[in-house]
Structure 1
């Protein structure tokens, strides 16, 4: 339950062993490389140059993109299994060697060529359909034109045109043609918004006069490269669209036939993706004509195993050196916990990982997180739903480590909620008390009734908060001692303990009759003087030291604010109970009359309605209040607790290992 101790290693080996070593280290899953190429200007490394496998990485990425194309096109068209079934089934597990063996034996390039051809066919058909639909759209306004387009061109004595004109100019054009071009003809074929589609016919010998009138009225000619009447052309195009859709469906069905190849393609994807990762890892290394130099981090407990892996590949022809990680180095952080604390690592990581010189706060955080969440949700029925639901999910579904830890987290939180629910007498609100007339004695008179014992619950909340804050200060003392800053423990921890304790004794003297009143005054004065003398100690000038000390005294108000902040343990607990009770009242008001009517049909309807309303309303309340408890419990950890000692800023240990998108890679160690 701590930050894993890290070793820094430097490794020299012959270049011809690099590929095999990278394979071994990827399977080892326990080293994080340091980018030595950032230090290539160092005089000690001047005889080396940057290593790279960019050409190989590019080739693998090209192959990877082809496999990804196959997977994506199959995902688009084949029927997917439900999310529930996928969770039950889980990912397939293979060793890295098994993955390589299966991937290399898969004839995926043939599948790619065939799917690529089918995709091109689909693209061609879709483009054709789009073009046909566009042509139909442009022809539709002319569908009532009862002549073929070519007949307009065949006229010898006359000229005929179709086109568009603003609707407002139709009458004007008609009048001008009638007076200026004898025996001309204008017909409105259709109208669209502000434009009209028209036909104009006139004697060919009057072309110049007609052309001038037409242009002056904003007439725009329309030319269609078709033969036949518009309605006949539309019918032909519509028929071709139907045929096109049929052909598309046939291509899609032929793509679906490759469903049984999807798993093979996923294996090939994993193989090439990990080859890319392996090739890009070389960008961290340096090389000479014959050797490769690499550096990285490994946990102290895995150092011997690492050397054994290197020796297995290189025999005697290598050199490796291990050094303990120094606090000032940017050491990657790996947290290690037991079965209880490990699910809470995600809570710590959401804020920030600790630096290497700090302490892992998760063991303490986990205890208070469970305690506070239960107090906030505080309904035994809701807790049972969380606990049973997560246990079933853990049993039924095959989940990865992160998802299992998330469910375990809410299982623990559910158990705490059950505990506090029984303390407060809440079980789906007052469902077992007076809510539905069950009147179970304990739930009408619980150990602590928040509605009637507000001050008791508030006092508990403040006491828990004070303990939380004091432990935070204690952890600060531990970190300072770890870093051998012993006097800072006195200045930055002991003084606050004394000042805060004194103020509490001073303010709460009426509730602590056994404590001498003078003790609170003495501790308060001593603590405040200590803060005044020490909080500005890092300033250079006397004025700065005094100012820093005075400002440090102001920090006492933040402790008061922190203690008040723990009142949310009361507020959210009350909110959950009151809302649940209100929902029970709503169910009663809506269904009680039907259930007690004596009419069998009304009884059944009322009972069904009651169950539906009860389920829906309480599921809603669980969701809203569990989210609220999660957020506010996290806030108490991040601000009130972490604020007393925690700096964070650590970078997560990211080992060189296989990526696992579609399968789980089994470690052979």
Structure 2
């Protein structure tokens, strides 16, 4: 089909009615605003207007969204987990905009947020305290052999106590030095770890303690005692406190399950405030006078009447609107919306992954869809795998109603149909399962093991056709824009050279092939440097243009991947069947079904992904390089929020 025709609208309305207007435009979901506050967008008529700014409500809505998002994220881990398949195949629930507004009247999100925030705060406190307790217990365990209450150390009158650690490397020397002291000293080695010795000592109080000096020289570090009882008793008390906190934590977490059924209400609140937030944010695009607001934007040409009717219904006669066609210099800025038929539209995502076309270009989706369909199946090339894809995507289409997601499933449905087609041509049904292991011989046209040359030739023929259509598309674009000479120089000359080269390689065409090849190359030599301003530049450009024929040769050879990936899928499937068949009886009858399903699903997944990537690569590099510039931006209309719920008009 084509790129949807867009136009620019200019809308003037009363500032006092702006909020009401934006609400209706948001439910319309058909306009994309132009940022008039961007200096590049301002023309002379707008220079004197002032910018519309967001008010305090914008910040308020943002804060509300942050609170609601916190509440949803905090509860979600406690909700019942859907299976990955169910989650994948589930549509968003729908609600009308009017119902959304109505349900907000009794929404209790603020109360839920406050309660959940309090619970989070308490859980954080518990986590902090329990971590501290764990650290203290770990430390006290190292002093476990100290069997006296710590408080006794503060009650000593005639003796000095030392409780602390020193590095292990000083132990022998320090103990020998202590034993050599004249002053009687009591000491204990309470514990050792990888680096330190845990030490306790008592000595008679002296004005100049030799033990104190020895310990200082040995890197002794005092244990800062903040406990009263002995380590065992302190650990018992800490464990008791720890268990009380853990029980409280479990109780709080258990209470969070009661909030799971509130997620729906919180999601309603999120969509409501996000809708308001988006509406307030839209003000950053507008300019105003004291009483009026100026709004510029894009909309599809086909929606003009509907847009005017909506504005008139909202504002009565208090508005001015005009539409203007896209000027040539505006083309790079125009947002792109594609419109294709029921088959090609499902391949638009392949275009979007690369880049949307510019407004001045053509939509390549219809051509791409045909070749992507053919190439995908030729690379996956197993009818059994194709049937699995068809069945799986058909089931998904039965379950899913969302239009955009259905397009993705339809893309893989058509890919599965193509795979069945090519698999039937190659006679591959889960590899060689049917003829070799069940004796069922299904007719086929080509045997990949014995007809490699034929399949290779078919691949190259597809490549040549694909490239020639790409060149033809380029010619169409040039002719449409009035550049007929460029179409002759940049397309017709290549057609002549390439067709001549093909005829000569095939040994047919005789003199005609030589005339086309050398005539085309000479024409390229004299035309490809025509844009250069100097003689040297023109000659260099011409030589480089002729050299470009090697690039076309590489492009054609690149299509051999259609053969390579097709062979890989089939040969791997055959190898998997052989591996399963080698399992000895009676284990074969038990293990074979499970291995068959698991191994072939793995082969299907890997090669389906490879086919998806390489089918796209052939479009992006070999096809698009002939005519496609890209760089367009997708049409993103001002619309209602839809993060969790699809809001309908």
Pick from 607, 611, 618 the counterpart of residue 629 of structure 1: 611
TM alignment of 1:101-140, pairs within 5 A:
101-140=102-141
Equivalent position of 2:465 in the other structure:
467
Equivalent position of 1:285 in the other structure:
286
Give the match's secondary structure for 1:655: coil
Pick from 349, 353, 356 the counterpart of residue 352 of structure 2: 349
Tell me the CA shift for residue 178 of structure 1.
3.2
Flag the 1:532–1:87 CA change in 2: closer, same or farther, 3 A.
Answer: closer
Tell me the CA shift for residue 20 of structure 1.
0.6
Tell whether 2:545 aligns with 1:542: no
Tell whether 2:6 aligns with 1:6: yes
Task: Describe the superposition over 1:612-631 as per-residue Cα deviations: whole angstroms up to 9, x where unpaired.
Answer: 22222211111121122112
Equivalent position of 2:148 in the other structure:
147
Deviates more, 1:135-144 or 1:103-112: 103-112
Tell me the CA shift for residue 562 of structure 1.
1.2
Tell whether 2:70 aligns with 1:72: no
TM alignment of 1:184-583, pairs within 5 A:
184-205=185-206, 208-329=209-330, 330-396=333-399, 398=400, 400-434=402-436, 436=437, 438-442=438-442, 446-509=444-507, 512=508, 516-583=509-576
Give the match's secondary structure for 2:73: helix
In structure 1, C-alpha distance between the alignment counterparts of 2:103 and 2:325, rounded to whole Å? 40
Asked if the contact 1:106/1:264 (under 8 Å) is kept, the reply is yes
Q: Structure 2 length as normaliser, TM-score?
A: 0.97
Equivalent position of 2:169 in the other structure:
168
Pick from 640, 644, 648 the counterpart of residue 662 of structure 1: 644
In structure 1, C-alpha distance between the alignment counterparts of 2:60 and 2:291, rounded to whole Å? 24
In structure 2, C-alpha distance between the alignment counterparts of 1:632 and 1:466, rounded to whole Å? 17
Give the match's secondary structure for 2:360: coil
RMSD after superposition: 1.6
Tell me the CA shift for residue 546 of structure 1.
2.4
Equivalent position of 1:21 in the other structure:
21
In structure 2, C-alpha distance between the alignment counterparts of 1:380 and 1:374, rounded to whole Å? 9
In structure 1, C-alpha distance between the alignment counterparts of 2:520 and 2:177, rounded to whole Å? 104
In structure 1, C-alpha distance between the alignment counterparts of 2:504 and 2:52, rounded to whole Å? 68
Asked if the contact 2:78/2:260 (under 8 Å) is kept, the reply is no
Asked if the contact 1:54/1:280 (under 8 Å) is kept, the reply is no
Equivalent position of 1:599 in the other structure:
none
Tell me the CA shift for residue 128 of structure 1.
1.2
Tell me the CA shift for residue 659 of structure 1.
2.4
Tell me the CA shift for residue 30 of structure 1.
0.6
In structure 1, C-alpha distance between the alignment counterparts of 2:191 and 2:141, rounded to whole Å? 10
Q: Structure 1 length as normaliser, TM-score?
A: 0.94
Task: Describe the superposition over 1:524-569 as per-residue Cα deviations: whole angstroms up to 9, x where unpaired.
Answer: 1221222122211111223322221221111111111111111111
Flag the 1:89–1:451 CA change in 2: closer, same or farther, 3 A.
Answer: closer
Tell me the CA shift for residue 87 of structure 1.
4.3
Tell me the CA shift for residue 439 of structure 1.
2.8
Asked if the contact 2:36/2:42 (under 8 Å) is kept, the reply is no
Asked if the contact 1:174/1:186 (under 8 Å) is kept, the reply is no
In structure 2, C-alpha distance between the alignment counterparts of 1:62 and 1:81, rounded to whole Å? 30
In structure 2, C-alpha distance between the alignment counterparts of 1:579 and 1:87, rounded to whole Å? 29
Deviates more, 1:101-110 or 1:332-341: 101-110
In structure 2, C-alpha distance between the alignment counterparts of 1:409 and 1:41, rounded to whole Å? 42
Tell me the CA shift for residue 289 of structure 1.
0.5
Deviates more, 1:458-467 or 1:166-175: 166-175
In structure 1, C-alpha distance between the alignment counterparts of 2:67 and 2:607, rounded to whole Å? 47
Tell whether 2:582 aligns with 1:589: yes
Asked if the contact 1:152/1:161 (under 8 Å) is kept, the reply is no
In structure 2, C-alpha distance between the alignment counterparts of 1:539 and 1:517, rounded to whole Å? 36
Asked if the contact 1:355/1:650 (under 8 Å) is kept, the reply is yes
Equivalent position of 1:159 in the other structure:
160
Give the match's secondary structure for 1:646: coil
Give the match's secondary structure for 2:442: helix
In structure 2, C-alpha distance between the alignment counterparts of 1:619 and 1:552, rounded to whole Å? 47
Report how many aligned residue pairs link the two structures: 646
Give the match's secondary structure for 1:547: helix
Give the match's secondary structure for 1:348: helix
Asked if the contact 2:272/2:641 (under 8 Å) is kept, the reply is no
Task: Describe the superposition over 1:295-348 as per-residue Cα deviations: whole angstroms up to 9, x where unpaired.
Answer: 010000111111111111111111111011123211111111122111211111
Tell me the CA shift for residue 206 of structure 1.
6.0
Give the match's secondary structure for 2:249: helix
Consecutive unaligned residues in structure 1, runs of 5 or more: 595-601
Asked if the contact 2:478/2:486 (under 8 Å) is kept, the reply is yes
Tell me the CA shift for residue 84 of structure 1.
3.3
